[in-house]
């Protein structure tokens, strides 16, 4: 257990760079996401994680470190978090990481978090490209940290963190002692836009780069070769036949009922 005081509260927030959600996404020759051909942005859901980290810092003081793993253009996403207000960045980058699945990604992130003395590690709840919602739970398992995921609220008091975990039928109130790992859902806050001052300040903030050797991870533990699952084949779904669209002329409801009858729904 660890008392948080304003001098020491340290938050690591994990953000991922993803293809713009409107972009047409394709798989490359090795069945990994073709990241080169699309505009890349910060995973929308990770903006809420950065915002929550900054709000906790505003309430308790301390420091916010943004952590991201990805190819060289990932620096743009780290800069965005820095321009929102995070203090410094850590960029995990190594050609050997290309093609890492969630298990491998969680190993690299866990190694990058370990030893930094974080009181809180904050994640988004899902990456919009992988859509797995598994990396936070995996990192919690690896680091032995209490897992407080899918949080719609987070509060820290002394050495206790308390969250509302969104469930199927409402929410669970979950409590743990720091250090702990949290993921947030989008209901939690409204992310700020970087200000001009923030963008200027971000240019001077420090971003440390770390490679596999620096993490103490060997090349066979990550990347395409070190991943424990593999895509064997991929095919475009045949485009859906165009549906029938009619304009309501006073009998639109009946027209739908006819369609539903024909399809045996009624």
Partner 1 sequence: MAEVLVLVEHVDGAVKKVTYELLTLARRIGEPAAVLVGAGADAAIGGLAEYGAATVYVADAAELSAHPVAPKAEVLAKLVAEKAPAAVLVASTAEGKEVAARLAVRSGSGVITDAVDVSADATATQSIFGGATVVKSKVTTGTPIITVRTNSVAPEAAAGAGARVDVSVELSAAARSATIVDRVVQAKGGRPDLAEAAIVVSGGRGVGGAEGFGVIEALADSLGAAVGASRAATDAGWYPHQFQVGQTGKTVAPQLYVANGISGAIQHRAGMQTSKTVVVVNKDPEAPIFELADFGVVGDLFQVVPQLTEEITKRKG
Ligand X SMILES: Nc1ncnc2c1ncn2[C@@H]1O[C@H](COP(=O)(O)O)[C@@H](O)[C@H]1O
Q: Which residues bind ligand FAD (CB under 6 A)?
A: 44-45, 186
What is the closest distance, in whole angstroms, from the C-beta atom of residue 88 to partner 1 in the complex? 28
Q: Which is nearer to ligand X, 27 or 200 (CB)?
A: 27
Give the SS3 label for residue 53: helix
Determine the longest span between alpha carbons in the chain, in angstroms. Answer: 70
Q: Considering beta carbons, is residue 21 or 195 the nearer one to ligand X?
A: 21
Looking at the Cβ atoms of 135 and 212, the one nearer to ligand X is: 135
What secondary structure letter does DSSP report for 30? T
Instruction: Give the nearest distance from C-beta 247 to ligand FAD in angstroms.
Output: 12
Residue 242 tokens, joined: 């165009």
Measuring CA to CA, which residue among 64, 42, 44 is closest to residue 53? Answer: 64
* Nearer CB in complex with ligand X: 43/189: 43
Rounded alpha-carbon distances, angstroms, from residue 109 to 13, 67, 80, 115, 259 = 11, 8, 19, 12, 51
In a 13 Å sphere around the CA of 95, the CA atoms on its Cβ side amount to 0
Choose the contact partner of 194 out of ligand X, partner 1, ligand FAD, none; CB within 5 to 8 A by kind: none
The least distance separating partner 1 from the CB of residue 18, rounded to whole angstroms, comes to 12
Give the nearest distance from C-beta 43 to partner 1 in angstroms.
Answer: 11
Contact 205, 87 (CB under 8 A): yes
72 binds, among partner 1, ligand FAD, ligand X, none (CB under 5 to 8 A by kind): none
The CB density around residue 101, as the number of other CB atoms within 10 Å, is: 20
| 3-state SS class at 118 | coil
Rounded to a whole number of angstroms, the minimum distance from the CB of residue 33 to ligand FAD is: 20
Instruction: Say if CB 54 and CB 85 are below 8 A apart.
Output: yes
* CB closer to ligand FAD out of 123 and 161: 123
Phi/psi at 207 (5° precision): -120, 115
- Among partner 1, ligand FAD, ligand X, none, what does residue 46 contact (CB within 5–8 Å per kind)? ligand X
CA-derived radius of gyration, the chain: 22
Shortest distance, position 249 Cβ to partner 1, whole Å:
8
Smallest gap from residue 175 Cβ to ligand X (A): 22
User: Which distant-in-sequence residues (6+ apart) come within 8 Å of 189 by Cβ?
Assistant: 48, 51, 52, 55
Binding partner of residue 127 among partner 1, ligand X, ligand FAD, none, CB cut-off 5 to 8 Å per kind: ligand X
From the list partner 1, ligand FAD, ligand X, none, partner contacted by residue 256 (C-beta under 5 to 8 A by kind): partner 1
Using CB distances below 5 to 8 A depending on partner kind, what does residue 1 bind out of partner 1, ligand X, ligand FAD, none? Answer: none
**Residue 170 touches which of partner 1, ligand X, ligand FAD, none (CB < 5 to 8 A by kind)?**
partner 1
Taking alpha carbons only, the member of 181, 163, 179 closest to residue 3 is 179
């Amino acid at each position: 257990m660890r008392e948080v005081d304003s001098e020491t509260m340290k938050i690591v927030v994990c953000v991922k760079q993803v293809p713009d959600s409107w972009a047409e996404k394709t798989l490359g020759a090795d069945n990994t996401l073709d990241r080169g051909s699309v505009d890349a942005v910060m995973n929308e859901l990770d903006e809420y994680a950065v915002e929550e980290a900054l709000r906790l810092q505003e309430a308790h003081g301390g420091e916010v470190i943004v952590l991201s793993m990805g190819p060289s253009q990932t620096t743009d996403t780290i800069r965005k978090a820095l321009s929102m207000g995070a203090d410094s960045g850590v960029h995990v980058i190594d050609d050997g990481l290309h093609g890492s699945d969630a298990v491998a990604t969680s190993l690299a992130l866990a190694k990058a978090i370990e030893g930094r003395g974080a009181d809180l590690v904050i994640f988004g709840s899902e990456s919009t490209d992988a859509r797995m919602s598994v990396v936070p739970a995996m990192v919690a398992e690896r680091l032995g940290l209490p897992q407080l995921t899918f949080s719609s609220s987070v509060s820290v008091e002394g050495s206790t963190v308390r969250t509302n975990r969104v469930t199927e039928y409402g929410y669970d109130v979950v409590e743990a002692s720091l250090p702990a790992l949290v993921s947030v859902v989008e209901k939690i806050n409204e992310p700020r836009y970087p200000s001009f001052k923030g963008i200027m300040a971000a240019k001077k903030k420090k971003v440390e780069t770390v490679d596999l050797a620096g993490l103490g991870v060997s090349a066979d533990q990550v990347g395409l070769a070190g991943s424990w699952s593999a895509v064997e084949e991929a095919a475009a779904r045949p485009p859906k036949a165009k549906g029938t669209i009619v304009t309501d002329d006073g009998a639109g409801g009946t027209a739908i009922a006819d369609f539903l009858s024909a399809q045996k729904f009624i």
